Structure 1
């Protein structure tokens, strides 16, 4: 009976480490996808002066479509990202909220500057997370295994 308990505890602790690690990769993928969306908006506003509703309906990204982000754009950029579960961290939430609140108001130049600023911030965040990802994944996995081992030791 103790053996089964030990196996369950160790398995669960390893799974928790992998889930936390996977959440980091998902966050990075979300930021990359949102950045490509803002780049698409910027390009269409700057070059073609396309209305936002046309930009929203013409954008195609398999990952964002799977999350439900594209379908939810009628509720607004921020609400769609939030409802699709794309905003894991405060940094990207603030960036997307700012774009969502100001997009569609002002001149083409103002909207282009807004998008450019958001793109730079998202790319900086993306670069930062890419650098941190391997170390954080290793830490999450190690800590979860050590926590499981500690529980097993206390259990024995």
Structure 2
């Protein structure tokens, strides 16, 4: 069951792609002025963690709106927030941060469309949902990986 006749709203597309700008700006800050490195990395980390958590919220909302969502969806929808929190703990405790945390978030973002693809087998998703999710997750995942390399 992939897609529906209901199209993805244009606002969702435009605002989704605009959501790549904060991470692109963080990468540009690194390239432009090395004195901004900490600000760029910390801001980019926070943004990646927020968006990863947001994905879980989107999955939770899809589960709530579905007549018969798969049983695995609710636990999976909670994972991004828990993972984002776990990537924050090294910073709080003064351990090695941010590189390992950025890598975890980058991989989580890059793999997240697999959840959407599996979800599409169980509930109807708007036409274009998976394509948009792949574009946004790859874009944010790769820019987050670039921050991890800094």
Give me the TM-score of the superposition, normalised by structure 2. 0.35
- Pick the structure with greater CA Rg: 1
Greater helix proportion: 1
- TM-score, structure 1 length as denominator? 0.34
